[in-house]
Chain A
Amino acid sequence: MHINFERSGGFTGIPLTTSFDTEDLPESTANDLKALVQKADFSKLANNLQSNNSAPDQFTYTITVQSQDSKRTVVTNDSSAPEELKPLIDFLNQLARSQRSKG
């Protein structure tokens, strides 16, 4: 499974991105991540999950999950993300932030 994560906007406007194959992650991390993708029912989410009311300085998240037979991109932000998707966003955010800091 290939995952691409982009975070844009926010007060700082400094983007945060990560892109990886779950095969390249430690096995337990990869399994946790696959479980979160499944729990979010990612393949059935609408592509555009942004709120109509603009909330200044919120992050916008663009997540693409690609597996052998499917590829889906979902765009959402802090206040409009569905509850079942939030744990996946948190996980990817954390992963991307710690990768960034390690350079």
Chain B
Amino acid sequence: MERHPLYCILPPHMLKQIATNGTEAQKQMAVKNLVASSRMRGQRQDARELVAFSRALGTDVKTRTIYDAKQGNTLPGMVVRQEGDLPSPDPAVNEAYDYSGATYDLYRNIYSRNSIDANGMKLDSSVHYQKGYDNAFWNGQQMVYGDGDEDLPPAQQLFTRFTKSIDVVGHELTHGVTQFEANLTYYQQSGALNESISDVFGSLVKQYQLKQSAADADWIIGAGLFTANVNGKGIRSMKEPGTAYNDPVLGKDPQPGHMKDYLTTNSDNGGVHINSGIPNHAFYFVAFEIGGFAWEKAGLIWYLTLKDKLKYDSDFQSCANLTWQVAGEKFGAGSLEQQAVKKGWDAVGIDATQGGGGTPTPPPSGEGCPVSLMRKLGLLNPSSK
């Protein structure tokens, strides 16, 4: 945690004064220091009161709660660590806590976003969900993590616990961000964009924590999830889609990195975890082309596109058009950044300049009812045809 030298020497009652009466920047710094110093003293109750205090003041503060589902399927489970608490003996609890904090920090520090809903939403995570649950998901309100193949004999285990990889945590939280912004329908191309945006910001959380440039980052999603029994670096590769794993038991990474290999399927909500390789690779290419830290420019272009431009039914073409448009607005028409966006989408077979700034595709016809209306009525089932 960053500590401002001035505030470190101020007593808590003065920091509370500043937190109440100061400018927004002063408030932020005072609250940060109050929470940090009470944590150092190990005063749990103090830290919790401060979190409540700063929330009441309307100051941005991360508020994490980790629950233990104790291998059952009832959510959220039992509270095991709250904001300001000391670390737990359970590594899954600490990973969920630390990595959701790192995700909050990227969004807050770089994109000035106060949590998932941009309004200080509490970050709830449940670990140890079910037995032998080799998965993690966002259920609309919270993050949920399984322990992988912990119930199988060691020689048969393929997956370890899903909190182990920081980008998995960033990925799940970003599903929450998407839900509050474009709310991309989790089906076919809009679903693959939803997935890709989670991979993009999941990877950026990792790069931001490691302070890695686009050239130095591994661009692997889910590094560390496989046990040594699996031949693979991770679940997906944004740099080289289709190369993350190749294993006799799990098969080969099926992700395409170009529109010519786009897979049409009914499975996996229309291949949302497969075709996401295409926009994933476009983002990697843009970030690499711009150079430096990927979260600064490429990440900003993608974030602004998610927040202000994409719609629930946007497809790859409209995402390309809109990121190109945002790059022009933010960095100037014809700027190196805008050229990089065009090159990135060109690399996956999509012309970002075609379509004049990105008109979202009309809702699919033949449903007998507009998708927007179905959504309002709660009738939209992304997996049904």
Contacts and interface: CB of A to CB of B under 8 A. Distances in A.
Q: Do A and B come from one complex?
A: yes
Interface of A: 8-15, 48, 50-60, 75, 78-79, 86, 90, 93-94, 97-98, 100-103
Given A56-B137, A101-B158, A101-B249, A11 B222 contact: yes
Contacts of B135: 10-12, 57-59
B130 A9 contact: no
Contact of B381 (A10, A50, A55): A50
A97 B149 contact: yes
Contacts of B186: 54, 56
Contacts of B139: 55, 58, 78-79
Interface of B is mostly: loop
A55 B140 contact: yes
B269 interface: yes
Contacts of B281: none
Nearest to A79: B139
B354 interface: no
For the complex of A and B, list the 10 residue pairs with the smallest distance between their C-beta atoms, beginning with the closest: A13-B273, A101-B156, A54-B186, A57-B137, A56-B175, A10-B135, A54-B382, A8-B267, A58-B137, A55-B139
Given A8-B268, A12-B135, A52 B156 contact: no
Interface string B113-152: 0000000000000000011101111111000000001011
B149 A101 contact: yes
A8, A12, A48, most chain B CB atoms within 10 A:
A12
A78 B384 contact: no
16 contacts: A8-B267, A14-B251, A15-B267, A50-B383, A50-B384, A52-B379, A54-B187, A54-B382, A55-B140, A56-B137, A57-B135, A58-B139, A78-B73, A90-B131, A97-B132, A100-B249
A103 B247 CA distance: 11
A59 B162 CA distance: 14
B274 interface: yes
Contacts of B64: none
Given A52-B378, A56-B175, A10 B134 contact: yes
Contacts of A9: 268-269, 272-273
B10 interface: no
Given A55-B140, A103-B249, A11 B168 contact: yes
B250 to A, nearest CB: 6
Nearest to A102: B156
Interface in B163-189: 168, 171-172, 175, 185-187
A35 to B, nearest CB: 19
Contact of A98 (B152, B168, B268, B274): B152
Contacts of B194: 56
B132 A94 contact: yes
A93 B162 contact: no
B175 A57 contact: yes
Contacts of B140: 53, 55
A37 to B, nearest CB: 19
Interface string B253-285: 010000000000001110011100000000000
B188 to A, nearest CB: 12
Nearest to B168: A11
Nearest to A53: B140
Contact of A57 (B136, B187, B250, B378): B136
A97 B134 CA distance: 10
